A and B are shown apart, each in its own frame.
Chain A
Amino acid sequence: MPVIEADLAVATADQIIDGYGAERSSLIHVMQDIQQELSYLPRESLRRVSERLEVPLAEVLRVATFYAAFSLTPRGRHLITVCMGTACHVRGAPRILDALVRELGLGDGHETTDDMKFTVKSVRCIGCCGLAPVINIDGKAYGRLTAHRVPQILREYE
């Protein structure tokens, strides 16, 4: 998804804040919902959150950069999460991640492909250890995975 327009970013933030109430303790919930709706946390949204919850922007960003769930940059159309939990690790998850990085041409620290098609993130344990190693694309789980199945799975996505 591309960069979100300022007006939409602010309006989304307002609507979500209204739902939870403009209190300090709502901060993480509000950001979670904005993230879910817009696929990342646009600047204008965070500025609005800072104003309405009366929390300095530096502090809002402290929270936004502390928790792994949040992204300050737009994400690709399809989110691939690779489980790097212990059970998955022991059953070869690093090779799956390597295969993804290789197939999608992602370099050091880059999570999103240049064409904004895929974002790859590793997570620690989605709790499907019986099917290790597991990846999840847009909510669909692929278990009992091997590295050489990766290219064909990626081809399923537009």
Chain B
Amino acid sequence: MNETTQTFLIRTLDDLEEAGQAGRRRLYPGRVKIKVGVGTCGIAAGASELYRALIREVREKGLDVEVAATACIGLCQREPLVDVQVPGRSRVLYGDVAADQAAPLLEAACRGEIFGGHAIARTDADEEILTDTRHVLASKAAVDGVVPFGNVPLFSSQLRIAMRNCGIIDSDSIEEYIARGGYLALLNALTKYQPDAIIQMVTDSGLRGRGGGGFPTGRKWASCRKAPGDPRYVICNADEGDPGAYMDRGILEGDPHSVLEGMMIGAYAIGSSEGFVYVREEYPLARQKLATAIKVAEQCGLMGDDIFGTGFNFRVRIARGGGAFVCGESTALMASVEGRVGEPRAKHIHTVESGLWDKPTTLNNVETWANVPVIIERGPQWFASIGSQGSKGTKVFSLVGKIKNTGLVEVPMGITLRKIIYDIGGGIADDKQFKAVQTGGPSGGCIPAEHLDLEVDFDRLTEVGSMMGSGGMIVMDEDSCMVDVARYFLDFLRYESCGKCTPCREGNQRMFELLDKICNGHATEADLQLLQDIADTVKTTSLCALGKSAPNPVLSTIRYFRNEYEAHIRDKRCPAGVCKALVKYSINSALCICCGRCARECPVKCITGQTGKPPAKATKKDKEEGKVGVPYVIDQAACVKCATCFEVCPVGAVKRT
């Protein structure tokens, strides 16, 4: 979509500054600039069509406007998202912009006016967290009617460190990355600090792995550095298998250089000159962005031999996943890079000692790497001043599910769940009742309303029976059945288990079967006990973390929502109205307006009746003219519980019990 710009060799601080100036000219071109969010989410919502429409309009009308692309801006709920930057004025973010609105949007922009009805917020100045500077945009004060980002809790509660450039830069442009402080940390690391000093800084910052383990990053690097063996490897785990989590995709599409720079600093620290980024199969755009970033970095001399003339060499390759959740586990991931099946091994001998091809290997998550340049530039004390006692810095969460504002949010550790869900998330969609928030993916657990004031960090989440995981945060409401949620996760896990060890392979399958039995109303009390026994065995005796954490969804839902299990088992009832076998759809004939829509849409044609005037409202004339309808009735025996009638009935006459 974007051509890679002219590149030149970057060997010195002066070269870096020159590239930075080129980047600043791209970021702030001195004429109207329209930036479309064309990450995977944006594309799914129609952003490509919008982008093309804008380009066409500009060309046909000969407008002096720059049309640019960026990736994930973070407010996925409102895609397609567009930023309009008019010189001397605040930049305005618009949402829900369709391709056919390209022309009016451009007209408004060229007149310096707001495009009505779509504005979300405005930016008066761009913060550059790496250099601790501000680039002021507006010489005029307020832009009428558009609130500043700082006044919108959704945005003001956020602190973007890992996502510092996402949605701001064109991720294919290394100049724009450099303009906002990129590669300065690498230059300083290579020229001012010894490897041990780098490791000390990362340790002092308190950075803990963002992939789910929460292991202290500095300690990991220190162990790896001490381990004997050559060559040594750094790996970026971009497998991001937790369903509902896409933070890493956002960072890789939006700012791949931040990850590469972090990896290079880490490589320098542990004595490595070779790295891999293992990207899951389902992320083709992220792979493409990364490949472009690597190519451009190589062309500039920022990757390869003798980087910045310091004698430091580094090359990185992209390794591709094959569709296996278990490959997010470090030993399975390394096996996959080696071309083998992703079967984990016991980790009594750690991968920092013996990892990829039995060599010392440092594996970290995307978000972890993205934080590293900031720690080097702003210093460990600054980083440690953010967050909670045990968890320093920020965390990116994917806030999804039954919430008003779905998207990627980055917040300081220690913020409460309540703040995330209600201030940032805007509360529950359709103003329904909050029931639980699921964190940590299939390895995590469900947290109920009683813990809404929990401060979110690694340790606190574990205390309540869940875990941080990679950052997926799925909000559930009164219409979610917690037994069905547990079944969902076990369905996922039994399919993703590599099958090597008995407890995980057999246990996950059996737990799924038991949950299925419960959801279908065939289970007994003895089944619940059996479920708990199996859960205990799988948790204690599985070989790897997938198995060991697989029972968490079951255990946490039994802990907090036991009443739902009991309703399914004893009363054969699904309180949330989700489990098909325990749910009945019927039409309230008093409310039925005989429109026939349900019957038309019913995929198995099990609804009968007749269109016409509802009998209660029929006049004598209607009766004479034969225009009276017959209220519709669902044939329970044939009904497949697809809920289509429930969804399409215009007057809510379909009951779910």
- Listed in ascending order, the chain A residues whose CB lies under 8 Å from chain B are 23-29, 31-32, 62-63, 66-70, 84-92, 95, 98-99, 102-103, 123-132, 134, 141, 143, 146-148
Contacts and interface: CB of A to CB of B under 8 A. Distances in A.
Chain B interface size, under 10 / 10 to 19 / 20 to 34 / 35 or more: 35 or more
B377 interface: no
Given A28-B320, A87-B244, A124-B241, A95 B642 contact: yes
A95 B647 CA distance: 12
B283 A90 contact: no
Given A63-B341, A134-B44, A85 B243 contact: yes
Nearest to A24: B339
A125 B653 CA distance: 34
Contacts of A69: 281, 321-323
B402 A32 contact: no
A127 B648 contact: no
Contacts of A32: 281, 320, 322
A124 B322 contact: no
A92 B488 CA distance: 12
Nearest to B338: A25
Contacts of B341: 62-63, 66-67
Given A86-B438, A127-B40, A130-B406, A66 B400 contact: no
A91 B338 contact: no
B139 to A, nearest CB: 35
B282 A129 contact: no
Interface of B: 40-41, 43-45, 76-77, 79, 240-246, 249, 281-283, 319-325, 336-342, 398, 400-402, 406-407, 438, 441, 472, 474, 476, 480, 485, 488-489, 492, 496, 498, 601, 603-604, 640, 642-644, 647-648
Given A28-B336, A125-B245, A130-B41, A148 B323 contact: no
A66 B324 contact: yes
B324 A68 contact: yes
Contact of B339 (A25, A90, A132): A25
A132 B400 contact: yes
Task: Name which of A89, A143, A147 has the most chain B CB atoms within 10 A of its CB.
Answer: A89
B468 to A, nearest CB: 16
5 contacts: A29-B319, A86-B244, A128-B44, A130-B76, A130-B79
Contacts of B647: 146-148
B372 to A, nearest CB: 23
A66 B242 CA distance: 19
Contacts of B480: 90
Contacts of A85: 243-244
